[in-house]
Copies of this chain bind each other. A is one copy, B any other.
Amino acid sequence: MIGRLNHVAIAVPDLGAAIAQYRDALGANVGDPQDEPDHGVTVVFIELPNTKIELLYPLGEGSPIAAFLEKNPSGGMHHVCYEVDDIIAARDRLKDSGARVLGDGEPKIGAHGKPVLFLHPKDFQGTLVELEQV
């Protein structure tokens, strides 16, 4: 069912330092910061030949990653995102298997403009899993 790894998201407490480390020390192709006020994050994409790293920095009040950074002040890996062809079929299969979908169970439009769902980390070995319909 799942296809490509769309991205790995890393929450960072200092966006400038993170950009410098990936661009200068690791020599990666780092994009410009993009504010996503609807999602409460500023996002920077790092383009690798086969996938992306998504740096997440809190934007505005009530950012969904503020609590994560309180628990992990240095930052850390926040979620992985797998691509699916049909997010409703994927959701129904996951619910049948007993996995919990976060929120009201309906796909939302994610930061890339595509339908997404998040799955409960306790059902996936402590890893927050995003599914994105591509």
Number of A residues, CB within 8 Å of B: 45
Which stretch, A31-39, A47-55, A59-67, A107-115, touches the partner chain B?
A: A47-55
In the complex, are the beta carbons of B49 and A4 less than 8 A apart? yes
Q: Which residues of B contact A5 (CB under 8 A)?
A: 5, 8, 48, 50-51, 53
Q: Which residues of B contact A121 (CB under 8 A)?
A: 74, 76
As for how many copies of this chain the complex holds, the number is: 2
- Bound state CA distance, A51 and B81, in angstroms? 12
Q: Which residues of B contact A48 (CB under 8 A)?
A: 2-5, 82
In the complex, are the beta carbons of B13 and A76 less than 8 A apart? no
**Mind listing 26 A-B residue pairs with CB under 8 Å?**
A2-B27, A4-B48, A4-B49, A4-B50, A4-B51, A8-B77, A10-B126, A12-B125, A14-B125, A18-B125, A21-B97, A21-B125, A24-B97, A25-B97, A26-B129, A50-B50, A51-B51, A72-B126, A74-B121, A74-B125, A74-B126, A75-B125, A75-B127, A76-B125, A76-B126, A76-B127
Task: Please report A residues at the B interface, Cβ cutoff 8 Å.
Answer: 1-5, 8, 10-14, 17-18, 21, 24-28, 48-51, 53, 55, 72, 74-77, 80, 82, 93-94, 97-99, 121-127, 129
